[in-house]
């Protein structure tokens, strides 16, 4: 009996191990084969098709961050990883989205090939600490410019102006904006600012407020008709709509303003001016529009470049 059990255990373990081994072998081939054309194998994807080449003549005098990038030969960028078409890391390990491509654009303009970016996933609560401590060179990830944060870090941009909006099913016609939510079930991340706004402004009844840890859980409930709307910044919602444009749409009536900036070291004014110039150039030459159309624009909601705010 004892021997038999050991044998069963050994067989199970061997089977499990063979499965793992198989998975490890399979993955690199799959992702390697997926890289298009002659592009070097990297963990980033460019869904917009914007070709970025490192600007070898880049120079930012008097910027300690730039000097650090120059000597390291790479940029270290803080990003999000759980926002589809915005800041996302897929199952194959590839990073895609609007914020990611903005980060790549900035890296190229700083003279570093986007393939050489080292991405760091920094949770919202740790962003200031990571920038102040020099753990990252810059941060691109739905980072709202606020006066409180300006005390700790500097912002280039805004490169995108978002606002709280509503994601609904494609066939929804009753929900036209925040004032049409009465009697509708509204979902967002547990305790987040958007859901607290819904509660405080009594946009719907307390029993119709639904909260999950992640937006993707809310989206799943929306598709299953358990909730009627998902609410947060429209940039995030557009990302989900772009993933499933046949079934989802963004209402397009934002009821708050969030200006997304690129987080930089507080005292690095030289770098801030330089990055601002580069963003402005991207607004003007159509690069920004191309990146938007290839990522969040797939949701069917158009957008135009915002106005830069230098301070």
Partner 1 sequence: MSEFLHVLTDHWSLFGQGFGNTVKLFLIAAVGSLVLGTLLGAFRVSPIPALRWFGGSYVNIVRNTPLTLVFAFLVFAVPKLDVDLDYFTAATVALTVYTAAFICEVIRSGVNTVAPGQAEAARALGLTFDQVLTQVVLPQALRSMVPPMMSVLIAMLKNTTVAAGFSVLEAGAIPAYMAEFGEPQFYVLLWIAIGFLILITPLVLLQRLLERKWAVAR
If binding is defined by CB under 8 A, does position 129 make contact with partner 1?
no
If binding is defined by CB under 8 A, does position 5 make contact with partner 1?
no
If binding is defined by CB under 8 A, does position 150 make contact with partner 1?
no
**Among residues 22, 190, 267, 310, the one that binds partner 1 under rule CB under 8 A:** 190
CA separation for the pair 189, 278 (Å, rounded): 34
Which candidate, 164, 132, 163, places its Cα nearest to that of 150? 132
**Among residues 144, 192, 253, 256, the one that binds partner 1 under rule CB under 8 A:** 192
CA separation for the pair 164, 56 (Å, rounded): 39
Residues 106-125, one symbol each (x = binds partner 1 by CB under 8 A, - = not), give -------------------x
Smallest separation, CB 269 to partner 1 (Å): 28
Smallest separation, CB 64 to partner 1 (Å): 30
If binding is defined by CB under 8 A, does position 200 make contact with partner 1?
no
**Among residues 3, 25, 191, 307, the one that binds partner 1 under rule CB under 8 A:** 191
CA separation for the pair 97, 260 (Å, rounded): 15
Smallest separation, CB 234 to partner 1 (Å): 19
CA separation for the pair 157, 68 (Å, rounded): 22
Within residues 54-73, the interface with partner 1 by CB under 8 A covers none
> Treating both helix axes as pointing N-terminal to C-terminal, what angle do 287-294 and 269-285 enclose, rounded to 10 degrees?
80
Place of tokens 């749409």: 249
**Among residues 70, 212, 270, 290, the one that binds partner 1 under rule CB under 8 A:** 212
Select from 96-104, 210-218, 247-255, 275-283 the region that touches partner 1 (CB under 8 A).
210-218
Which candidate, 299, 304, 237, 293, places its Cα nearest to that of 47? 293
- Name the pairing type of β-strands 209-212 and 248-250: unpaired
CA separation for the pair 107, 55 (Å, rounded): 9
> Largest alpha-carbon pair distance within the chain?
77
Smallest separation, CB 128 to partner 1 (Å): 13
Residues 261-280, one symbol each (x = binds partner 1 by CB under 8 A, - = not), give --------------------
If binding is defined by CB under 8 A, does position 154 make contact with partner 1?
no
Which candidate, 217, 198, 216, 214, places its Cα nearest to that of 206? 198
Q: Would you call 37 exposed, middle or buried from its count of C-beta atoms within 10 A (0-12, 13-18, 19+)? A: exposed
If binding is defined by CB under 8 A, does position 226 make contact with partner 1?
yes
Query: Which residues of the chain form contacts with partner 1 (CB under 8 A)?
Result: 125, 187, 189-193, 196, 210-213, 217, 220-221, 224-226
């Amino acid at each position: 009996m004892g021997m038999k059990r050991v044998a069963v255990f050994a067989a199970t373990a061997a089977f499990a191990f063979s499965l793992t081994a198989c998975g490890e072998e399979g993955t690199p081939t799959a992702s390697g084969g997926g890289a298009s054309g002659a592009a070097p194998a990297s963990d980033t994807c460019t869904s917009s098709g914007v070709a970025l080449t490192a600007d070898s003549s880049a120079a930012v005098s008097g910027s300690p961050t730039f000097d650090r990038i120059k000597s390291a030969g790479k940029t270290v960028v803080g990003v999000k990883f759980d926002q589809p078409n915005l800041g996302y890391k897929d199952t194959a390990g590839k990073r895609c989205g609007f914020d990611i491509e903005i980060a790549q654009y900035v890296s190229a303009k700083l003279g570093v090939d986007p393939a050489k970016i080292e991405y760091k996933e920094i949770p919202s609560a740790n962003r200031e600490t990571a920038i102040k401590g020099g753990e990252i060179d810059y941060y691109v990830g739905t980072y709202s410019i606020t006066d409180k944060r300006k005390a700790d870090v500097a912002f280039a941009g805004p490169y995108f102006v978002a606002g709280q909006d509503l994601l609904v099913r494609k066939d929804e016609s009753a929900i036209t904006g925040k004032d049409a939510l009465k009697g509708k079930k509204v979902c967002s991340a547990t305790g987040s600012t958007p859901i607290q706004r819904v509660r405080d402004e009594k946009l719907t009844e307390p029993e119709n407020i639904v909260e999950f840890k992640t937006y993707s859980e809310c989206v799943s409930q929306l598709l299953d008709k358990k909730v009627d709307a998902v609410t947060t910044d429209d940039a995030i919602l557009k990302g989900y709509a772009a993933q499933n444009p046949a079934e989802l749409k963004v209402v397009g009536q934002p009821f708050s303003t969030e200006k997304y900036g690129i987080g930089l070291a507080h005292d690095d004014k030289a770098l801030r001016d330089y990055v601002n110039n580069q963003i402005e150039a991207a607004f003007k030459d159509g690069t920004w529009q191309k990146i938007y159309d290839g990522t969040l624009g797939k949701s069917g909601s158009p957008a135009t470049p915002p106005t830069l705010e230098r301070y």
